[in-house]
């Protein structure tokens, strides 16, 4: 069974979803893949996992790095799961690149190369925004691209974490890597 709750963040409304195992979704209202893995049958009800997620978000949005993580149950292919696992290792307030994630994934799988574009697709389909920190991934050249919640939200999240933004830029439409 999937349970949902709404959360009002300083950046707008967020929909949370969880099953008995963990959080399955966290989407900003109106984002690109909004609730794309949410089952048609779900119940709006407070659960311990959703309460813990709200507590995590309350801390996060005050600019405090939470010292715990609610149970997560991301839904996706083995490839996406592997990418999301790497995202969880990106420290608060720091960033990495799509290329670096591709390099790590290739190394884990004993390959000489992995496509940064394939990694970008998996990052972009992360259904648990913020907690699985896809907003911490940038282009190799510092471009701020590829956030389903919108680039302005990505910038605000990085600023909230006090990430070093000096070398980042928002590319003009149609020039993203």
Q: List active site positions.
A: 134
Rounded Cα distance between 166 and 43, Å, is: 44
CA-to-CA dists, residue 91 to 57, 88, 131, angstroms? 16, 8, 11
Tokens of 112: 């000489």
| Rounded distance between C-alpha atoms, residue 54 and residue 7, angstroms | 7
Closest CA to 23 of 45, 49, 1: 49
Residue 12 near residue 31, CB atoms below 8 Å = no
């Amino acid at each position: 069974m999937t349970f949902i709750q709404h959360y009002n963040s300083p950046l707008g409304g967020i929909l949370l979803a969880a099953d008995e195992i963990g959080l399955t979704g966290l989407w900003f209202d109106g984002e690109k893949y909004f609730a794309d893995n949410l089952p048609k049958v779900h119940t709006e009800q407070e659960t311990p996992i959703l309460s813990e997620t709200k507590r995590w978000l309350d801390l996060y949005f005050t600019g405090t790095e939470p010292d715990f993580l609610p149970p997560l149950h991301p839904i996706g292919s083995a490839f996406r799961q592997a990418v999301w696992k790497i995202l969880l290792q990106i420290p608060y307030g720091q960033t990495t690149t799509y290329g670096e994630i591709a390099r790590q994934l290739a190394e884990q799988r004993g390959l000489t190369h992995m496509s940064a574009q394939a990694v970008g697709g998996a990052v972009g389909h992360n259904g648990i925004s913020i907690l699985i920190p896809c907003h911490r991934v940038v282009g190799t050249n510092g471009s701020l691209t590829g956030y389903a919640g919108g680039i302005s939200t990505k910038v605000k999240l990085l600023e909230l974490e006090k990430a070093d933004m000096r070398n980042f830029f928002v590319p003009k439409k149609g020039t993203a890597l």
